[in-house]
Structure 1
Amino acid sequence: MNILDKIVADKRKEVISKKEIITTDMLEQIPFFDRKTISLTHNLKKSSSGIIAEFKRCSPSKSIINNTSMVEDVAIGYEHAGVCGMSVLTDEIYFGGTLDDLITARQSCNLPILRKDFIINEFQIIEAKAFGADVILLIASILTKAEIKQFSELAKSLNLEVLLEVHNEAELQKAIMPTLDMIGVNNRNLKTFEVSIENSKQLSNLIPDEFIKISESGISSIESIKELQPYGYKGFLIGENFMKTENPGESAQKFIKTLEK
């Protein structure tokens, strides 16, 4: 059983437990459920940097990354830095995140917010909307084609944008459909945790032009971004690079200023 299988098994148990306590009707009563969402794709199209900055406390591959920064400070810092959007990890067991982080980020900034989690049930999509997300992540390797269709259609009906994450050509071919907005190529091999931006380069030509291309994982240098931009990438999801510093917002600001020079 690899780490992804473990995470998904635990996520299934978590969703079952939540559904015993909270109904979708209850989620729909949360004030954020009716708010107008902010478009990440719009921001990425008009940006020269394309940075989506993450709030992440820890990860299975790196253990603790940052357990001192407050989500509200990071959200304010990222907005001030001029990022295109903010990604918030809401998985508790493996990434130390919570839905409270999502709602706090939403209250602290006007950035489009991606709920970064392992979505395996429609309940989590309604939950994402209720807690202030603008974008959801769907991971092709843990979902069937039918699930990707079902989940992306539900997201679109709630005015949420959809970022689909793929690792290889097979996942990409399985998953391309009109209800997606962005396709993210994860440069991390989830079996070995090795990272290479060559993965983004290899898959770039296979992604149809109607989708915004995003490169994820292992983006830690200006050079990596400049190397990937000619391949059509408009978005770059950066997690650990900012979060491993004392002031993630300040780090993001310096990074973007240098990138845009």
Structure 2
Amino acid sequence: MQTVLAKIVADKAIWVETRKQQQPLASFQNEVQPSTRHFYDALQGARTAFILECKKASPSKGVIRDDFDPARIAAIYKHYASAISVLTDEKYFQGSFDFLPIVSQIAPQPILCKDFIIDPLPDLSGALLPG
């Protein structure tokens, strides 16, 4: 029997191959710019650092938050977070790459694209967005 993690990774590999057909890496990799928000720096200092997470669902719990609104969450998190993690996996966490610019426009903190990165494609897709 396959573990949940193994199933997620297998499904992500299929997603990556499909996405590569739709949007080859070479078509956008030169557009990726380094972020001006520095994750490591945000966690430094004397105060306690918090990485707060925007997460609608999980494979083990199902939907965690029915009224999931990344803009509303970011408006609250910006007052407390050192950095904000945004789930982008659609199938298992009901996330989206579309959430990254929404959160990034509201919160000045570094935004972490949280996904199962098994290939440069999803990592660079997230890097195209501010944060």
The TM-score normalised by the length of structure 2 is 0.90
- Deviation string for 1:65-105 (max 9, x for gaps)? 1121311111121012x210000000001000010011211
* Cross-structure match for 2:62: 63
CA shift, 1:47, in A, is 4.8
Distance 1:60 1:45 in 2: 32
Cα distance, 1:29 vs. partner? 6.6
Equivalent in the alignment of 2:21: 20
The two structures, once aligned, show a CA RMSD in angstroms of 1.7
Would you say the 8 A contact 1:91–1:97 is kept in 2? yes
Q: Tell me if the contact between 2:78 and 2:106 (Cα under 8 Å) persists in the aligned partners.
A: no
Instruction: Flag structure 2 segments of 5+ consecutive residues without an equivalent.
Output: none
The offset of 1:126, in angstroms, is 1.4
> How far apart, in 1, do the equivalents of 2:92 and 2:117 lie?
14
Alignment TM-score, normalising by the size of structure 1: 0.47
Greater share of residues in strand: 1
- For residue 97 of structure 2, the aligned residue among 93, 99, 105 is 99
Match of 1:7 in 2: 8
After superposition, the Cα gap between the structure-2 partners of 1:119 and 1:36, relative to the gap in structure 1 and judged at 3 Å, is closer
How far apart, CA to CA, are the structure 1 residues paired with 2:16 and 2:41?
32
| Structure 1 residue 7: Cα displacement | 0.1
- Determine the structure 2 residue equivalent to 1:117: 115
In the other structure, the counterpart of 1:256 is: none
Identity fraction in percent:
32
Which ranges in structure 1 are unaligned for 5 or more consecutive residues? 134-261
Partner of 2:52: 53
Indicate if the aligned counterparts of 1:90 and 1:96 stay in contact, CA closer than 8 A.
yes
Max Rg structure: 1
Distance 1:29 1:18 in 2: 17
Q: Contact 2:42/2:109 (CA < 8 Å) preserved in 1?
A: no
Matched residue, 1:38: 37
C-alpha distance in structure 1 between counterparts of 2:77 and 2:100, whole Å: 14
SS at match of 1:34: coil
Equivalent residues of 2:56, 2:66 under 8 A apart:
yes
